[in-house]
Each structure stands twice: as C-alpha cells, then as structure tokens.
Structure 1
Amino acid sequence: MVDNEVFASFVFYSTLLILKMYIIAIITGKLRLSRKAFCNPEDAMRHGGIQYHREDPDVERNRRAHRNDMENIFPFLFLGAVYSMTEPTLLIARIHFQIFFLGRIIHTVAYLCALKAPTRSLAYTIAQLPCFSMLVQILLAVASNW
C-alpha cells in the first residue's frame, strides 16, 4: 500500500491515535448516558427531562482529555506527514512516532484516571519532544533547499 516505510510507520501510529480519540469519544458518550448529563436541552429531554441538561465532573474530564488530544494530535498529523517527506532514517522516524504515541497514551490514562501529578504533565512534555524535533528538521530541510 505504502512504499515509503517511514510514511507507513507514520500512518500506523497516526491511525492508532485516531482510534484512541474515537474511544475517548465513545467513553464520553457512555458517561453522558449513565450519568444523565447532557450538554444539549433536546438530548436531556429525550433522556428524562430538562433537569439532565447539566454538567458532570467525569464527563467534563473526558471532554478535556479529548480536547487536549485534538490540540496535540492534529499538529502531529501534519508534522509527521511532512517529516516523512524529508527522508529521515526509518529507525529515527519510528522512535519519533513511538514516543509521541506512548506519551499520548500515558497522558490519556493519567487524565481519565486522575493519576497523581505530574504524571500527565510529564507525558505531555515527553510527547512534545518528537514534535519539536520533527518541526526543526522540517524547517532545516526546507531552508537547505532555498
């Protein structure tokens, strides 16, 4: 399917990250139903009445985890795709993708399970390192072609 092994590795880890985001969305939906905490009045009315148009701390925690994924995974998708075009070595590229992936998994677990600080912050920071590295390498590759 994909001849470029670096890009294939990027696609693999990116797909797993998107799957993780879908799973968080499903968990959030299930929490909304079980806690009867709906953000839209029409949903509350469908599930028991306007009194269920309310916030729930666990639902909100899941929503924040999902929002944080969007703020971080979407830039990774761009950076990883462009980085793959700079012809990095396969091993180094995979290390970048794996560190980001594992950092985001740990971040999500820390967020959803309310693990003791600074677990979530460390996971976030570690996951940003390969993004910053890819960003610098992209800029250097582009600048060297001018």
Structure 2
Amino acid sequence: MIRNEVFSCFVFYAVLLVVKMYVIAIITGQVRLRKKAFANPEDALRHGGLQFYREDPYVERCRRAHQNDLENILPFLFLGAVYSLIGPSLSVARFHFLVFFICRVLHSVAYLWPLEPPTRSLAYVVAQIPCFSMALQILVSVAAYA
C-alpha cells in the first residue's frame, strides 16, 4: 500500500494516462488494418501486397496523436512523480493531475475526430499549465540544495 496520498493520487492518474496511450496505439493499429495502409513492406505483403505499403491521412493522424502523447505524457510522469515527493497539498496536487488528464483526453479526442479549432490547441496549452506549475514548485523546493 502506498502511504503517500499525493503519490497514490498521482499513480492513479498516471496509470489512466498510460492506458489512454495504449488505447490510442490500438486505435492506430486498427485504423491501419481497416485502411490497409502499412508502414513496413513485410506487413503490407502479409495483408495483401506491396500496394498497401503506403501512407493514409487518417492513419497518420492517429500516429501523430500517439506521438503527441509520448511527447507530453512522459514528461508529466516524471514531473508528477517528483512533485508528489515534495509534499504538496493533496487537493492542489489532485487538481494538477486532474486538469492534465482531462486536457490530454480532450486533446486525443480532438485529434482523432477533428474538432473545431482551437479545441486541440487549447487542450494542449491548458495541460501545460499544471506541468509548468509542478516544475516551478519542484525547482523552488530543491533550489536550496543546488
């Protein structure tokens, strides 16, 4: 049992985000199969021939959504874990984690089902606010030791 309530809260949202990333990866694979657009010639050969070794705009959209998750969720996992260890208020930490999670889900939805601008951009920017806040609080907390 994890005794640090903030860390437990972080782990909850971190696992949800990792599961969300797996879902996006599965969606990407399913779209590849449905559109018959494979990134590797051996996969195309297995599924009908080299003519399916090609790009598809929607497959690329799914792939970019997954890539964007990697670029944003991985730093959050580091920041959130360290932030949990500096002793923040549980309610403030939960708010940071929840805002990031909701925004990343909205970002993925806006990417996969092209929502009207600026939905995706706004979700991205708002998700960066808790990350920036956590980073600043970590730096302030450890500055005396640097």
Shorter-chain TM-score bucket reads over 0.9
Amino acid at match of 1:113: W
Counterpart of 2:60 in 1: which secondary structure?
helix
Return the alpha-carbon distance in structure 1 between the equivalents of residues 110 and 120 of structure 2: 5
Counterpart of 1:19 in 2: which secondary structure?
helix
Query: What stretches of structure 2 of length at least 5 have no aligned partner?
Result: none
Return the alpha-carbon distance in structure 1 between the equivalents of residues 103 and 127 of structure 2: 5
Shift of 1:139: 0.2
Aligned counterpart, 2:57: 57
Shift of 1:145: 3.9
Return the alpha-carbon distance in structure 2 between the equivalents of residues 31 and 7 of structure 1: 36
Shift of 1:144: 3.1
Q: Compute the TM-score of the two structures, normalised by the length of structure 1.
A: 0.98
Counterpart of 2:2 in 1: which secondary structure?
coil
Q: Compute the TM-score of the two structures, normalised by the length of structure 2.
A: 0.98
* Post-superposition CA distance 1:50-96 (Å, at most 9, x none): 00000011100000000000000000000000000100010000000
Return the alpha-carbon distance in structure 1 between the equivalents of residues 117 and 144 of structure 2: 42
Aligned counterpart, 2:19: 19
Return the alpha-carbon distance in structure 1 between the equivalents of residues 87 and 26 of structure 2: 37
Between the aligned residues of both structures, percent identity stands at: 65
Return the alpha-carbon distance in structure 2 between the equivalents of residues 87 and 144 of structure 1: 16
Query: What stretches of structure 1 of length at least 5 have no aligned partner?
Result: none
Number of matched pairs? 146
Amino acid at match of 1:142: V
Return the alpha-carbon distance in structure 2 between the equivalents of residues 33 and 64 of structure 1: 17
Return the alpha-carbon distance in structure 1 between the equivalents of residues 9 and 59 of structure 2: 33
